[in-house]
Amino acid sequence: MIEELLPATVVAVEAHGDETAGGVYGADGPGGATLYPEEQALVARAVPKRVREFTVVRACARRAMEKLGVPPQPVLPGLRGAPQWPAGLVGSMTHCEGYCAAALVRETDLASVGIDAEPHQPLPEGVLGSVALPTEEAHLRALSAHAPGAHGDPVHWDRLLFSAKESVYKAWFPLTGKWLDFSEADIEFTAAPGPQPHGTFRARLLVPGPVVDGRELGCFDGRWTVRRGLLATAVSVPHQPA
């Protein structure tokens, strides 16, 4: 699911359903993977669900490392919890109920990447107001009226907006080392034709953007999809041509 939203240079590994609880991948994660001691210390007091997701998403990340020819190694949180990747790689991870994924790419191919997956359900009551700008709320109302989704089933645009902002932040932070508030990016979605809800989005940055290859970026572009009871978003930040 995630890999369809990213350039071909990105390696994405995901686990669905029973795989996230061990399943065909073993009790601790894909390939029966276990945590490194320094990772185990981070979840020593966590509930089993948290430990399972923490383990499986890192197993996905290590499989992506292997596909890129990089020896598997611990994935530890750095500043503001952002994952610290092996030298030469940039990437992102996400997990929700029944789904885990990691996406990695060589830093020579992309400047940054951000991914997010969420259950395809409405946001809890009252949350949208803390996530959306007035312009975004108007945009979501228009989408609800004119882009109902596959077979008439609704796309939960409020949850999709939340996911897109998560992906934008995950791509933004490695480039800036700064917080990005929900109110500091204005997102507009485009729905593509077809039986499966999917499309693109653009996040217009309302604060000074990151400088990539000597150029300040004013927006991030991303893609989205809905399937199997999940929605996913991804942002890839290309290098800027001279």
How far is Cα 210 from Cα 199, in angstroms, rounded to an integer? 25
What was the pLDDT predicted at 33? 59
- Kindly state the percentage of the chain with pLDDT values over 70: 90
Query: Is residue 22 a part of any domain in this protein?
Result: yes
Per-residue pLDDT tens digits for 16-45: 875 655 443 333 444 455 899 999 999 999
Query: Is residue 242 a part of any domain in this protein?
Result: no
Tell me which residue range forms the domain holding 198. Answer: 117-237
- Whether residues 19 and 56 share a domain: the answer is yes
Q: What is the mean pLDDT of residues 146-163?
A: 79
Name the pTM for this structure: 0.91
What was the pLDDT predicted at 104? 98
- Whether residues 127 and 233 share a domain: the answer is yes
What was the pLDDT predicted at 88? 96
pLDDT at 201 over 80: yes
Query: Is residue 112 a part of any domain in this protein?
Result: no
E strands present in 1-130: 11-16, 89-96, 99-106, 112-119
Would you list the DSSP string of 192-241?
PSSSS-EEEEEEEESSPPPEETTEE--EEEEEEEEETTEEEEEEEEPPPP
Per-residue pLDDT tens digits for 55-80: 999 999 999 999 999 999 999 998 88
